[in-house]
Each structure stands twice: as structure tokens, then as C-alpha cells.
A and B are shown apart, each in its own frame.
Chain A
Amino acid sequence: MSEVKYSKEHEWIKLDGEEATIGITKHATEMLGDIVFAELPEKGSNVDKDGTAGVVESTKAASDVYTPVSGEVIDTNQMIVDDPSKINEDPEESAWFFKLKIKDKSEMDSLMSKEEYEKFTKETSA
């Protein structure tokens, strides 16, 4: 069973064993508007929890993408680099950003469940 959790920086993370897939939430894409550029971490690099691991730019502005957990980048999604509009279309499935070999599963504990994240976005956008 895979577990999906959410960060306050509006990333989602899906954990399958040791492998974590990370992307940005639908709520994030709605706030950003039309995404026209995506930059991803390099395969083989190590990223630290809450550190910058990429960039997305909309027609309006640039935003950093943070990693909610630490680990080694084992894959990146070239599809969203070639066509960043896919991030607006399908942010929480096919338009994932990168996959990590997770370093410490306990880092998942501080993240939010789907219900908690929905509550969080309602509170912060109110």
C-alpha cells in the first residue's frame, strides 16, 4: 500500500517501499496559474528535507520546489520539462517531478494527510 502525504510548501509525496515520488499539488498549480517552465534536480544528486529541488515558473512568477524528505534522486520526469503545461493538466499523477530513494522514513511523520492538507489550504487561503 502506498502512502500519500502533503507538505506546507504544497508538494505531495507518494511512498512505495523505499521509493518516494514527489510533485506539486493541484492547489499549488491553481495558485501559480499557467506553468511555462520546470527545472528538476539532477539524477544521482542528494537532496535534503525542505531544501530546494527544482523550480516552476508561471507566466507571472518563479517559485522554488522543495523536497519534503531527504534522499537520492533516482529519476526525473522529462515530460514536464518538455511540456510544462502538463503540470497544470495532471499535477498529482502523470506530472510528477522527481523520484527519491528515501533516506529516513520517519521524515514522513511530520507531513500532512490529505484531510489535514485540505484543511490547511482552506485556512491559509481564507
Chain B
Amino acid sequence: MSIKKTSLNNLHIKYGAKLVEFAGYQMPIQYKDGIIQEHKYTRSHSGIFDVSHMGQLFISGRDDLTNDLEKIFPADLKKLKTNQSKYSFLMNNKGGIQDDLIITKTSEGFLIILNAACKYNDYEVIKSKLDNQYKLNLDESLSLIALQGPEAKNVLNKVIPGCDSLKFMNGNNYVYKNEKVYITRSGYTGEDGFEISIKHSDAETFVESLIENGSKLIGLGARDTLRMEAGLCLYGNDLDNDTSPIEANLKWAIPKSRIETEFVGSEVLKNQFQSGVKKLRVGIKPDSKVIARGNTKIYNDKNQEIGKVTSGTFGPSVEHPIAMGYVDNSYSTVNTKIFLEVRGKKIPANICNLPFYKKNYVKGEINV
């Protein structure tokens, strides 16, 4: 299979991107400024992220659609108002996460944003679970661009007036160059921001106008450090087929109204709600400057293995190494002393609260 390019590929090259293959696409890992500067620019100004590799699945059809989708996803879709979004999961029968996703109710049905590496499989799974009764369109004629950071609303409002009135986790239709664009107020950096679904042919001029208004292109490298500081999971690292939303400490995303109802994986989840889980995702702060990356083994003070790091990096805004991972539930309390095996040495660390970086409206608040 040949490597795919997004509609912004020429722009990535123009702005000096280092390109890498990610989920079958040629994507920018960083631009000329480098990961730390790009990360900080997003936190202090605003950053543009090409997330066109992600799936945009539109589902429409007759009235039972909401009911039928609730049999798949553990979200309260009946209560969802038009243009409102919710974070949810596609699970397997064991309650393991096949993908984490955002569902938005649209005037025609639902829009689901899927991870790039999972989108084709998700499409097949959802289609078969819906018994081919609805119209599913994994729309590859659209680009998806995220604009994130404290200045995102001012920058976007200059290009597409009126979008600053959107509330968090809400979307709406807007017009750009006489074409319809769909904008949601959301993102994955821990900052205020937007995701803009736009025709491929308009994507480049749209992004250039964001740049003219003071924003900068940001690569996947900084996207990763930003999401980690915000305590957000990356599918494939922190979430997988063998991990449930309860174990992933994402219980908040399953509404109480759905716990007793049926959906894929509901038996396992109901059981975990009642009896608890063996492993739990936690935040980890190493005592020293040593970075513990994914797959680092975690030990207790008796040298017994108690878990594994799933993501770890240096947090440019908190200016300290950060990590998250899964530990035996009895070690998941904040301030529990643990040890990380890095290059044969046991590095002391503590279980800590997530996120590492918390935004308030005036300025960032640092949790490390």
C-alpha cells in the first residue's frame, strides 16, 4: 500500500516539516522550530494541527439510528442535542477499547471522529453492527484541521467570523469561501480550541490565512507532548483492545444512565463498576530528570513488578519528565512511591494526579 498524503502536504514541506509515516500517512513530526518551541507556542498563542488522517464517519438514516448506536456506544445519545459532542468508545465484547472517539449529533444523523490507525476497521465493525441499515460515509473528501491555544478563538474568528460563540464540545455549520465547513469547539491539547472539517481544495488557503493571523503549524511531536501534559490517552499506547474504559480511568465518559443498559461490552463494564478493576491508569512523576518511555516496567519498594508505563516524555510546559501507565490498583493512590526500570536502574517516582498541566482562563496552572 502506498503512503497517503493529506491536502496540506505541500504546505508542510513549505514550512520545513520533517515528515514521517504515521498510520499510513505522510505526516509532519515537527517543523523548523522544533517540538519544544511548537509546544510552547500552542500553549501561549495558537497552533495549527493537520489531523486529516483521522476518520470522519457520517452516519444517517431512519429514526431508530440513535437507539441502534446506543447498542454500540456507551454514550447517552438520546440526550445529545443537535451539534453537541461526546467522548466515547468503540468496545469489544470483553469491554476492551477498539477505539476512542468523539460523537457529534448533526442535523442529518451523527458524525464520529475516529483515530487514523483504527478508522477502516471501525467502519467495518460499526457497519456490521448496524446491520447495514443506515448510510455510512467515511468521508475522505474532507480535511480536518485543529486550531488550539489561548489565541485560537481570536485567530479563527478573523477567518470565519462568529465561531467564537461556540461552546466547548459543541459544533455548527459555517461558511468559508462560499463552501460549508463544520466546526466543533474541541481538541486534544488541554487548550481551548477548534476542529474544522473542510473540503480538501480549501484546506491550504484556510491554513495560510490562519498563519497570516498569527498561528503556526505544529507537528505530531508537540501534539504528543501537549496531550500527555493534559493527561489525555493516545490509542495504541495508553488504550488498547485489552483495556477497558474503567481501567483507563475514563469512567467519567460513561454516563450513569447507561451503566444498567446494554451496549457492546456492557456486561464486563457493569461488573467492573461493581467489583472494581485490577489495574488502573495513573499519572507518574519521576523524582529525577530521567524519562521513562512506553513499556518501562514499574516496581514497588519490594522489587515486585506492579505495572508498565504506556506514555512518557519530557513535559515542555511543566519542565519535568512526565509519564502515565497502568499499575496494580492497590498502588494507584496519589503519592505512592514506585520505581521505574530505566536502562537497568530503578528510578524513584510517585503516582500523581492527572493532568500534569491544567488550564484556567487567565493562565496555565502547573500540577507537577
Name A's B-contacting residues (CB within 8 A).
33-34, 36-37, 39, 55, 57-62, 81, 85
Contact = CB atoms under 8 A, between A and B. Distances in A.
A37 B34 contact: no
Contacts of A36: 36, 289, 291, 314, 321
B30 A37 contact: no
Nearest to B313: A59
A57 B314 CA distance: 9
Contacts of B37: 34
Scoring B29, B221, B314 by chain A CB atoms within 10 A of each residue's CB, the highest score goes to B314
Nearest to A82: B289
List the 3 shortest-distance A-B pairs measured between CB atoms, nearest first.
A36-B314, A59-B35, A34-B36
Nearest to B20: A60
B225 A59 contact: yes
B253 interface: no
6 contacts: A37-B321, A39-B290, A57-B314, A59-B39, A59-B314, A85-B36
Given A57-B314, A59-B316, A60-B29, A33 B221 contact: yes
Interface string B10-38: 00000000000000000001100011110
Interface of B: 29-30, 34-37, 39, 221, 225, 289-291, 293, 313-314, 316, 321, 343
Nearest to B225: A59
Contacts of B293: 61-62
Contacts of B343: 55
Given A36-B291, A57-B314, 11 more contacts: A34-B34, A34-B37, A36-B314, A36-B321, A37-B290, A37-B314, A37-B321, A39-B290, A59-B36, A59-B225, A81-B289
Contacts of A39: 290
B35 A57 contact: no
Interface of B is mostly: mixed
B323 to A, nearest CB: 13
Nearest to A88: B34
A62 B36 contact: no
Nearest to A59: B35
B66 to A, nearest CB: 42
Given A33-B221, A36-B314, A37-B314, A57 B291 contact: yes
A102 B29 CA distance: 40
A37 B289 contact: yes
A89 B104 CA distance: 46
B291 A62 contact: yes
Nearest to A34: B36
Given A33-B34, A34-B35, A37-B314, A60 B221 contact: yes
Contacts of B289: 36-37, 81
A26 B315 CA distance: 24
A57 B347 CA distance: 16
A82 to B, nearest CB: 9
Contacts of B316: 59
A61 B343 CA distance: 13
A37 B291 contact: yes
Contacts of B30: 33
Nearest to B293: A62
